[in-house]
Structure formats: C-alpha cells, structure tokens
Amino acid sequence: KREKNPHHHFVRRVGLANWLLDTFVRAVLAVAEASGVLLLLPVVLEGKPIPGAKRGERILGYAEEPCYLWFVMEFCEGGDLNQYVLSRRPDPATNRSFMLQLTSAIAFLHKNHIVHRDLKPDNILITEKSGAPVLKVADFGLSKVCAGLTARGKKGSNENKNVNVNKYWLSSACGSDFYMAPEVWEGHYTAKADIFALGIIIWAMIERITFIDAETKKELLGTYVKQGTEIVPVGEALLENPKMELHIPQKRRTSMSEGIKQLLKDMLAANPQDRPDAFELETRMDQVTCAA
C-alpha cells in the first residue's frame, strides 16, 4: 500500500525504525513539497505494539490521519557511525573531530540530567549538510531522565537542580552487550556507564576494531576481549576480572598518543569511580586531541 501525506512526496520506504516505545513504526524517505528538503518520516501504525521498540531523535513536526501518525524528522544522509567509518579510509583529523563531538554531546546530556544507556555506533548518525561531518546522538528509547528524586532518593522542590547524574543509581540492565559497562551487567550503575560505552566506541573507531553481530551478521565497530576462540564484551570480562589489563592500542601499527591511550584506559576503568565524569572528559579530550 502506498502511504499518503498531503505535504510530502514519497521517495522510497527505508524499512523499520525502532522509534517509539512499544509501537510499530515504518519509516519512509520523503521530500517536503514546499522546500524540497529530504526528510525521514517514521509512520506510527496505531494499535500494533511490538516489544523492545524505541524512541527516535529529533522531531521537526507531525501530522495525523485515520490510523496513522506521521513524525517529520531530519534525514541524516551520512548514515550511522558504522557505515561512515568503515566505508572510508582512516583519517586522524576526522577521528579527532568525532571524539570532540561525542564527548561534547554526552556532557550536554549529563548536564541536562539525561543518561543515554544505549550508546553504540548504530545510534550515532551523521549529516554532512555543512560540508564537514556532524554527529547526532540518536535513539533515546532506553534513556533515563534523572529527575524527581534527589541523590538520596527523597523528593524535593528543586528536583533537577539537586540531581547529580553520577550519584543517581539506576537498576535496569539495558543496552547493547559490547558497549555495556561492568556495573550495568550487575544492574547497579550511574551515568558513568555512558562514559564506558563511549570509551569502547572511540577505541574501536581509532583502531577500526570490528566484530560480526550474531543476529544481523553485520560488521560493527566495537572492542572485545578474546577468551579462547570466543570474543567477550569488555564490560563482561572486567566484571569477571576487575584487575584485567586492557591492551590499548590493540593493534601494533596503530598510531595513538599517550594522552589518548591513558584517557581511554580511564574511561574503561572497571570501577566507575575511577572514570572521568562527562565534564572532566570533555576538558581532557580537548587537551589530548589538541596535542595529538
């Protein structure tokens, strides 16, 4: 069946979008009739819930029809971080730019009391409208707004002001295995879990470390630990052995400054208290990338 919308000309269907919590979504690519701008339109089919579906990123507008709800979103033509990085030759300048953008994005989220909880290359989208690639953190379906309770668990009048995301404990073990911090596997963690996930992403991006996803068979950016013939997520391995030393860089030919190497080790510390928070990370990342 062809989707109809009076304000857009449809280009093609782009598959399923895990967009709204417990809601089935079909996404189509469309051109706005008035401006000619290319947009992504997730189409929410009312009354068809599926488990595990998630919420998307930026909404530019919406429209309702019988049985349908259209959300107009920005189309990121650069794809996700996996597609972008793995389809291009290694570029240290691009790596530095992405590292700075990612740390800035997480600092912004944590400043606004939001823990993403599912950071991974699939959820980092790229647009090149301004020439240089710009990263956009997406998919907040598992994110948590740390508001309503203070760090001590008591309700207060200035709820948001009293919240320290690094002391706000969460208990839902969620995320994607290869990017989950050790404490997430245990179900007792804070925003520092986002720092760990970001460390895995940056390390994999710099060294082009990949694994094959068991379900989709896609090649994905992500670091891991080898145990015999199997590969194990770093967080899971650190949970089993907190004193395990991570070999950074993993590849002998990788060019990595001592500053970046140490920062990655700190981001991937088994004890979350030994990791920098998002604001310290932003400052340190600026220093090490400038020195690189």
Exposure string for 47-72, b = 16+ CB within 10 A, e = fewer: eeeeeebbbbbeeeeeeeeeeebbbb
- Write down the H helix ranges in the chain: 81-86, 92-111, 159-162, 182-186, 192-207, 234-240, 258-267, 278-291
Is residue 153 exposed (0-12), middle (13-18) or buried (19+ Cβ within 10 Å)?
exposed
Active site members: 118
Give the position of tokens 């990655």.
Answer: 264
Determine the Cα–Cα distance for residues 164 and 147; give it in Å rounded to an integer: 10
Look up residue 71 and give its two tokens.
Answer: 């959300």
